[in-house]
Each structure stands twice: as C-alpha cells, then as structure tokens.
Amino acid sequence: MITTNLEREMKVNTSRFGEISVEEPLIITLPDGMIGFEDCKRFVVLHQDPKNPLKWFQSLDDGALAFPIINPWDFKKDYSLSISDADADFLHMDEDTPKIVFVVVTVPRNNPAAMTANLLGPIVINPLRKIGKQVVLSDERYTTRHSIMEEIHMRSNR
Amino acid sequence: MLVLTRKPDQSIMVGEDIEITILEVRGEQVRIGIQAPKSVMIHRKEVYEQIEEENRSAIISNPDVLPNLDDLVTKKRAENPV
C-alpha cells in the first residue's frame, strides 16, 4: 500500500520542546497576535503531560515564546464570557459555532501554587476556521490575576 | 490631539456613525455614553494594558515544565485539611 502524506508540516525550533513539526491543521492563526505580541500570529497547543489541564500556547513564529494556558472551566465552572459582535464577526462565529476558550496563566517559578489566570483576556478560538483572538472583556467580576488554587479550594469547600 | 470642551448632554461625533455623549460630571468622574456600530470595538484602555502586562509576566515567570495541577491541589489539601 502506498501512503502519501499530503498534509503539510511546519518545523519550528522551540526553546522548551526542541524542534517540533506541526501538521498544518493543528495551527491556530491569531490575525492580531497576542496582546503585546502582535507579530506572533501562528500558534499550536502543546502539553507536557496530557493529564495536566495546564498546557502551552506555543508560538510558531518565535520558538522562545510560549504562554501557559488552561481551559477556564477546568477550575472555574461558573466562568462566563460574552463575546462582542465585533469579535464574533472577526472570528466568523455565530451562536451555533463551537468555540474553544483558553485563559493565560502566570506561574511564579518559585511558588507554582500562587499561579493566576487572566480571566479578562481569554483566547477564543473558532476550531472550524482555526482562527483565534485574545479578546478584551469588560466584566467587572473578573481580574487579570485570578488565583487558580484559591478557586479550586473554594469550590471543594462548598 | 484634538481637544474639545463639552458640557453634560453635549456630544461629539466621530465620523458619521460614532457618537460620544458626556452624560454626567461628578467630581473626578465623568460618565460617557458611546453609540457606535457593533463592529467597533470599545474597551477601557487600562484593561487592555493590564492584559498586555499579564501576557508579559506569563512568559517571563513561567517555568520550563508546568506544574501538575492535580498534584498541587492534593498538596494544598494535605496542608489545609477541610
């Protein structure tokens, strides 16, 4: 049997994962980049341990750039976000479009339990089009430094 | 920068379809109403700046290997039993 690999791959040298090759369908494009990193537009989600909800949002344009991310509902079940019409248009989304959401996590190197999540700037992805955007929420319930461990602890104490 | 003086209930038009109205001035606070097409993004500037700052600290502080969240939770529970 002859198998042909028609899917194009992209090879990138990363600081954490060495050289990785990413199949094109796994590449997520953020046309505006991440806020403050507007030049980095292509990303892939990588994990070091598949069971760990913490993952990496690895830039494919800068191998040294990777953001720790988590699905917000993995630690905060009542997280809700309303996506503005402008952002929905940008992402080609309507109410029925599935969406993937990650929030950026800051993990202090010497005290990982003090990790916080940025609930005001979630990365919203339209998996059908493989495009995403770090959106800016105007939601006074949330902050850019929400303690993940406190949230989990509070929930388990209820 | 264009500088204009306005009183409460007075507006400024930006282009043909964006209207900014001063609703109320109370001490240091100004309430502003903005009418704009849904395609125009509006947000408080400091939130945008906070997100940018948080993106930077996320990449500066992060370790090479992410801690396992479950392990941290188990450890924390052991330290603070319910």
Q: What is the pLDDT of residue B64?
A: 79
The pTM is what? 0.86
Instruction: Name the more confident of B67 and A105.
Output: A105
Q: Is B70 on the interface with A (CB under 8 A)?
A: yes
Of A36, A52, A107, nearest to B61 by CB-CB distance is: A107
Of A55, A121, A137, nearest to B54 by CB-CB distance is: A121
Q: What is the pLDDT of residue B81?
A: 65
- Beta carbons of A84 and B18 less than 8 angstroms apart: no
Q: Is the per-residue pLDDT at B82 higher than 80?
A: no
Q: What is the pLDDT of residue A5?
A: 56
Q: What is the pLDDT of residue A7?
A: 64
Nearest to A76 by CA among A152, A138, A153: A152
Q: What is the pLDDT of residue A12?
A: 92
Q: Residues 119..138 of A with a Cβ closer than 8 Å to B: which?
A: 120-121, 134, 136-138
Q: What is the pLDDT of residue B78?
A: 78
Q: What is the pLDDT of residue A158?
A: 57
Q: What is the pLDDT of residue A9?
A: 87
In chain A, which residues have pLDDT < 50? 3
**Which residues of chain A lie closer than 8 angstroms to B64, CB-CB?**
16
- Beta carbons of A54 and B66 less than 8 angstroms apart: yes
Mean pLDDT score, B7-32: 95
DSSP state of A60: S
The dihedrals phi and psi of A106, each to the nearest 5 degrees, come to -105, 120
Q: Is the per-residue pLDDT at B51 higher than 80?
A: yes
Long-range pairs of A38-44 with CB within 8 A, sequence gap ≥ 24: A40/A65, A43/A132, A44/A20
Q: Is B32 on the interface with A (CB under 8 A)?
A: no
Nearest to B75 by CA among A95, A82, A5, A152: A152
Of B56, B61, B77, nearest to A36 by CB-CB distance is: B56
